[in-house]
Structure 1
Amino acid sequence: MDQIILVINLGATSTKLAVFENETQTHGAKLHHSSSALAGFSDIVEQKEFREEVTVKWLTSEGIALESLTAIVARGGLLAPIPSGTYSINDTMVEQLAQGRYGKHASNLAALIAYDLSQPLGIPSFIVDPVVVDEMEPVARISGNPKIERICIFHALNQKANAKKVAHFLGRRYEDLNLIVAHLGGGISVGAHKKGRIVDVNQALSGEGPFSPERVGSLPTDALVHYVFDGGYGKT
């Protein structure tokens, strides 16, 4: 039986959607949301119904019935650190993402919408390589302060996907290659891929590493301390 799969990837101001028939993409769209459209939401999770409605309307406009889907796959959000892979969405995951237990980010919404749409249809829903994929080696967790350990939050899905594309292009197995992969977007992450695992990468969510359109990047400690105290800034 052919597999008809809906893929949902949510960003801060966009909803990216695609439908695959087995391994072939048959439909796709990147829907942008204006600041005014999102201004009425005080919290990321409050956007769920709006983003879900956008998704259903797009499917309808493309002539794709929800009942024709056999699975839904979503970008994974902020969860506890986990290895790279594909994970079934369940009640526990939904609760953690909705509550923002490990942080709030637009990527949290994709799994919530996938689960919400899949349940009445009786079909499975999954996340793949969420932003909390953690394969870092112990030495990569060491920072310059013994009380501060480096953590791993980055663009794992895009990093893994493009590394595997390169491996395919080279006619090699991803697990046999050593690669440096850079994701350049609103945030930037640069990862060291060693034999199929990302063993070191900058924490892109908080802006560690290169500065980018939406992140200030790593700053000189002395200058940052003076900036905060001289400017009278508090923790928030």
Structure 2
Amino acid sequence: MVSKDVYRILSINPGSTSTKIAVHENESELFRNTIENAAEELAKYKSMVDQFDMRRSAILECLGEQKFPLESLSAVAGRGGKLTPLKRGAYRVTQEMVDFLRYRPIDEHASNLGAIIAHSIAQPLHIPSYIYDAVVVDELEEIARFSGVPEITRRASCHVLNMRAVSRKIAEKLGKGLDEVNIVACHMGGGITMSVVSGGRMIDVLTDEEGPFSPERAGRVPCRQLVDMCFSGAHDRKSATRRMRGSGGLVAYLGTNDARDVERRIKDGDAYAAEVYQAMAYQVAKGIGEMATVVSGRVDAIILTGAIAHSDMMMGMIRGRVEFIAPVMIVPGENELESLALGALRVLRGEEGAREFIAP
């Protein structure tokens, strides 16, 4: 029997080719697992949402193998998907949210499955399910919304969950609350995004379409050449999008999205790989400098996080260009399962409230 002061939370983070899960008991992780999906299995499905039954069954099978009693759960937390713009923090998963993600999401994305699967597991157990710091959290200052073209309004879309969580940790390390610091956070994974956290809010961001190129994304490219490419006859809408997202960045230059592979090639004397990798670090550093101007250079810390933050080579190249701005803190990994669990835990303890999603 689990004490009423002990909360067990299942966290679910669907990715494009895998689903990561973890169970936390209060702040302590009991176990975690990554459920890999073979490419030939995924190819059977027309959309991410079509993978629901397969992924849900795999999660339940994994929990069964761990002999984990589902009835001991207090809540289920799923990664928030492509909803309309949200505020930071927790949202209770409702049928209205599930229907929106199933039938009319803003974009096709693996994270759309997070809330749907969480709700399907929690509902029969009569416990709540939540999303926390979804990718569509939008707290931009109004001045940051101008793009240069009235028909296009800048919108926030970034690795909110991890960047807010590590910003909270670094603020605590500095002996301050999150609302007392200015932090530039950079998440480096398959895509690279950045944010400025000031007064507890993400007041500006660089999305993976506006900032540096990354392992799989082209990032910011010259717009006139992009228009020319799209109208060259060589691409339709789908292939042009794929060229920018999924086949850009390191994939386009070097044929791989694995930074570890690039570093092995550099160590083996591949001068071109070294030049491309340095260019990525150069663009990341430029983006951090750009973000620092949002708070007039008054930055308490720069955070480098995400999977690529494990790379001493890349961190060294970036740090050398930006440490004049503020101390550089490196927090490797995604930390998203822990962030989901701790967010839900604060709600269960009454330290934070949970909002309701209202579909437009």
TM-score of the superposition, structure 2-length normalised? 0.63
Residue 38 of structure 2 corresponds to residue 34 of structure 1: yes
What displacement does 1:63 show? 1.5
Corresponding residue to 1:110 among 104, 114, 121: 114
Could you say which residue in structure 1 is the equivalent of 2:62? Answer: 58
CA distance in 2, matches of 1:101, 1:22: 32
**C-alpha contact 1:140 1:200 (8 A) present in aligned 2:** yes
> Over aligned residue pairs, what C-alpha RMSD do you find?
1.3
What displacement does 1:157 show? 0.5
CA distance in 1, matches of 2:215, 2:30: 32
Length, aligned pairs only: 234
What one-letter code is carried by the residue in structure 2 that aligns with 1:57? E
**C-alpha contact 1:78 1:100 (8 A) present in aligned 2:** no
Structure with the higher strand share, 1 or 2: 1
CA distance in 2, matches of 1:208, 1:100: 25
SS of 2:108's partner is: coil
Residue 232 of structure 2 corresponds to residue 230 of structure 1: yes
Could you say which residue in structure 2 is the equivalent of 1:97? Answer: 101
What displacement does 1:110 show? 0.9
SS of 1:230's partner is: coil
Could you say which residue in structure 1 is the equivalent of 2:319? Answer: none
SS of 2:117's partner is: helix
Unmatched 5+ stretches in structure 1: none
Could you say which residue in structure 2 is the equivalent of 1:211? Answer: 213
**C-alpha contact 1:5 1:69 (8 A) present in aligned 2:** yes
Could you say which residue in structure 2 is the equivalent of 1:123? Answer: 127
Residue 189 of structure 2 corresponds to residue 185 of structure 1: yes
What displacement does 1:93 show? 0.3
Residue 29 of structure 2 corresponds to residue 25 of structure 1: yes
CA distance in 2, matches of 1:93, 1:228: 35
Residue 137 of structure 2 corresponds to residue 133 of structure 1: yes
Residue 75 of structure 2 corresponds to residue 71 of structure 1: yes
CA distance in 2, matches of 1:78, 1:228: 25
What displacement does 1:230 show? 2.7
Residue 175 of structure 2 corresponds to residue 144 of structure 1: no
| Cα deviations by residue, 1:114-145 (Å, 9 ceiling, x for unpaired) | 10011111111000010110000001101121
What displacement does 1:232 show? 4.2
CA distance in 1, matches of 2:78, 2:145: 28
CA distance in 2, matches of 1:166, 1:98: 36
CA distance in 2, matches of 1:187, 1:100: 24
TM-score of the superposition, structure 1-length normalised? 0.95
CA distance in 1, matches of 2:22, 2:236: 43
Unmatched 5+ stretches in structure 2: 239-360
What displacement does 1:183 show? 0.7
Structure with the higher helix share, 1 or 2: 2
Identity of aligned residues (%): 41
CA distance in 2, matches of 1:48, 1:155: 23
Change (3 A) 1:31 1:101: closer
